[in-house]
């Protein structure tokens, strides 16, 4: 009777070295969350006037910068999709552009910065943008034929 040995899976040389930097980002975020949960006094609030908690220009500028960055990335993805004639990349760029537009609407609707008081645009812009982005991502995940995949 011949005895077979199960071989242990091997890791390609250098694979761990390439994977480690990508693991550090989520692990550092997790570590920061644990630190902030254990030491809540380290969790600083965004600068805001206690008399006017909704008028937060820092929120406006940081969210506007994030929206503009996402808008730029979405436009560059759209350009790459056009160059490659790839419908999936185009759909993903539309997802990024949709979420960027929602983030920008949320920023522009920051209460007491450009518009007065709390408003509907501030509250629903982000969820609506995520639904739009999710739709385009779902369509991009469909199994397209080569003819359909041509943009």
* pLDDT attached to residue 12: 73
* pLDDT attached to residue 146: 78
Cβ neighbors of 85 (< 8 A, separation 6 or more) are: 150, 151
Q: What is the pLDDT of residues 37-60, one digit of tens each?
A: 999 888 776 555 555 555 667 788
Residue 73 CB neighbours (<10 A): 14
Q: What is the pLDDT of residues 59-113, one digit of tens each?
A: 888 899 999 999 999 999 999 999 999 899 999 999 999 999 999 999 888 887 8
* pLDDT attached to residue 59: 80
* pLDDT attached to residue 17: 81
């Amino acid at each position: 009777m011949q005895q077979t040995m199960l071989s242990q899976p091997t890791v390609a040389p250098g694979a761990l070295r390439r994977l480690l930097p990508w693991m550090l980002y989520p692990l550092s975020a997790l570590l920061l969350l644990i630190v902030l949960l254990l030491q809540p006094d380290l969790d600083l609030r965004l600068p805001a006037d206690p008399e006017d908690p909704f008028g937060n220009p820092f929120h406006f500028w940081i969210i506007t910068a994030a929206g503009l960055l996402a808008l730029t990335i979405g436009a560059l993805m759209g350009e790459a999709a056009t160059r490659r004639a790839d419908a999936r990349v185009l759909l993903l760029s539309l997802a990024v552009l949709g979420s960027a537009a929602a983030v920008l609407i949320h920023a522009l609707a920051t209460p007491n910065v450009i518009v007065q008081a709390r408003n509907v645009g501030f509250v629903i812009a982000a969820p609506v943008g995520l639904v739009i982005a999710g739709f385009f991502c779902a369509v991009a995940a469909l199994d397209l034929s080569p003819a359909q995949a041509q943009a």
